[in-house]
Amino acid sequence: MGPMELPKHPLDLLPMDLPQGEPWGYAFAQSLLRAPWAWRALRPTPGILDLIRLDLEALHLELSRRREDFPLGALGERPPHPAEEGALKALLSRDPEALVATLKAHGPYPFALHRAFRFAGEEVRPLPHPRLPREDELVGYEAQLRALRENARRFLSGKPAPHTLLYGARGTGKSTAAKGLLHLPGARMVEVEPKELARLEGLLERLALLPHRFFLFLDDLSLDPEDEAFRHLKALLEGSLEGPPENVLLLATSNRRHLVRRLGENPLPGADPGAWDELQDTLALSERFGLVLTFPPFDKALFLKAVAHHLGRSLTPEEEAAALRFALQRGFSGRVARQFAQSLP
């Protein structure tokens, strides 16, 4: 049997995120989803099937011993995930083909059990309980949200959809709008820090093997044309050999001035041709997103409307005056409107 981590004592089960039901079985099922051959099982060869069969036989015996030595009632509270049920059924029947079918349908861990992830340090970390905004969180950007969701639904349905850039002033809700897509059925999201763009190749290779569709979320882009990360993003958007697979859609947010921060003033006539090349590269970056949605700053009326929305009621004249004073040093934005609403008793 391959090097597979298995719980040996009841105390080993306590840190695990187990579903309702007999805990040893589901703990072993999760081990199968993490098995060293799990990714190879997505394209199984006869040898891989033989390895899985050997592991299933050995784990079946181990499971019987655990259940006999440490009989336990349910430890978890959530319902089991279909991937856990499929892996457990394959284990109990010692059926390698059934386990391969489960892995093909749901993917290996962590993708089998979660919908939100963060990519950092060449590692994908699941976010079991992502903090999602309310679906009605944003006010004043109905047209942008409609276009964003329509494009996302098109992508999730398996149709071609353009990569998306949300840009505008800080605090206008770009990140909130992007994260809100996780409310859509079947949506999965991998958040990638810009500094990790140079390490995306391995991640994209793995995502391409999975049956799910993923939003690759790049928040608060601020890239320098001389930076290696800039070149990687440019290559991704231009459809190079490193480009994203068809089940991955890039979803980026940025302050537009931030995105083109290297622009400064236009190069003077007769300047080094390299300066013009750099300018064109920087300007063209945003144009390589097929869908570009602008989130302009709030005016006073929209700011007060957002405050009332967060409070769930209309404002008194005194509260309106206080809200405007609150925004005097902070600016008019959805974020500031929410902060003021939260500050009221």
Q: What is the model's pLDDT at position 327?
A: 83
How many C-beta atoms surround the C-beta of residue 320 within 10 A? Answer: 16
> Chain-wide mean pLDDT for the chain?
86
**35: phi then psi, degrees, rounded to nearest 5:** -55, 150
142-295 has which CATH code? Answer: 3.40.50.300
**Per-residue model confidence as pLDDT tens digits over 160-210:** 999 999 988 777 889 999 999 999 999 999 999 877 887 888 899 999 999
Question: Looking at residues 276-280, what average pLDDT do you find?
Answer: 45
Instruction: Indicate whether 3 pLDDT > 80.
Output: no
Q: What is the mean pLDDT of residues 69-88?
A: 97
243/34: higher pLDDT: 34
Average pLDDT over residues 18-22: 96
Query: Tell me, what's the pLDDT at 1?
Result: 42
| pLDDT score for 187 | 97
**Mean pLDDT calculated for residue range 310-332:** 85
User: Hey, where are the domains in the chain?
Assistant: 10-106, 142-295, 300-343
Question: pLDDT tens digits, residue range 79-130?
Answer: 999 999 999 999 999 999 999 999 999 999 999 999 999 998 778 999 999 9
Q: Which is higher by pLDDT, 203 or 329?
A: 203
- Confidence grade of residue 257 (pLDDT, cut at 50, 70, 90): very low
Mean pLDDT check: name the lowest of 240-244, 293-297, 300-304, 337-341: 240-244
- pLDDT value for 330: 84
